[in-house]
Amino acid sequence: MRSLRYFVNNIDRILGYTAQHAVLIVIAILIAVTVWVGVGILVRNNRHMARGVLGVASLIMSVPSVALYGILVSIPGLGLSRQSAVVGLVLYAMLPIIRNVYVALNEVDPAVMEAAKGMGMPARRILFRVQLPLATPVILAGVRVSVVMMVGIATLAVFIGERNLGVLIQQGLVRTRPDMIIVGAVIVSAFAVGIDYLFNKLERLLVSPGIRGEAA
């Protein structure tokens, strides 16, 4: 009941934090998809390079979020800024996106690839007309995992100057206010669930029923 009262009395401020949280996530995922899908495509035919890239991505994923933010703020040009928060989120999105792109492109049915080559399609056209459309469900799954993960990790960006939903949790801990912590945690969880639902709808919009059924 106390948490509900806090939410009602501070609705304007909470909406502001939610908007800032959403802006940070949108910026980070747009950059992450652009960069990491491209990297996944580049390494798709080079197993040794792919292993190296995925190894680096796994190493980054193993670094605690607060520690990674601490490293980023010490880099000239980043510091206590949104740039550091965005770079941190983009780095955490590296593993699920590149791994799914690499796996999805290499698991396209060889018979389909041979048929495309037999029709005289060049490699670039096969990639964009055959491989990527068939790989879309798996790639979207990697992006979905990244975005949902970002929602939680972004709350820790409050320690490097971001004013998002993490403020509620951080201030709740400092001031021993369980109502603030609960409100912050519930909104972040609802945010993550909502994004997962939107990606499910996006997949239905972008992927044909036949490809969805095959991926399932």
SS (H, E, C) the chain: CHHHHHHHHCHHHHHHHHHHHHHHHHHHHHHHHHHHHHHHHHCCCCHHHHHHHHHHHHHHHHCCHHHHHHHHHCCCCCCCCHHHHHHHHHHHCHHHHHHHHHHHHHCCCHHHHHHHHHCCCCHHHHHHHHHHHHHHHHHHHHHHHHHHHHHHHHHHHHHHCCCCCHHHHHHHHHCCCHHHHHHHHHHHHHHHHHHHHHHHHHHHHHCCHHHHHHHC
Contacts of 100 (CB under 8 A, 6+ apart): 40, 138, 139, 141, 142, 143
Tens-digit pLDDT profile for residues 105-117? 998 888 888 888 8
Neighbours of 170 (CB within 10 A): 17
Residues 95 and 89: their CA atoms lie apart, in Å, by: 11
pLDDT given at position 88: 93
pLDDT given at position 92: 94
pLDDT in tens, the chain (216 residues): 788 888 888 899 999 999 999 999 999 999 999 999 999 999 988 999 999 999 999 999 999 988 998 899 888 888 888 889 999 999 999 999 999 999 999 988 888 888 888 887 888 888 888 888 888 889 999 999 999 999 999 999 898 888 899 999 999 999 989 999 999 999 999 999 999 899 888 888 877 665 555 554
Q: Which CATH code of 2.60.40.790, 3.40.50.1100, 3.40.50.1970, 1.10.3720.10 fits the domain covering 2-215?
A: 1.10.3720.10
pLDDT given at position 107: 87
To the question of pTM greater than 0.85 for the whole model, the response is: yes
Tens-digit pLDDT profile for residues 150-164? 999 999 989 888 889
Residues 127 and 117: their CA atoms lie apart, in Å, by: 11
Cα dist from 81 to 77, 131, 151, 157, 207, whole Å: 9, 39, 18, 9, 37
CA 140-145-149 angle, to 5 degrees, is: 145
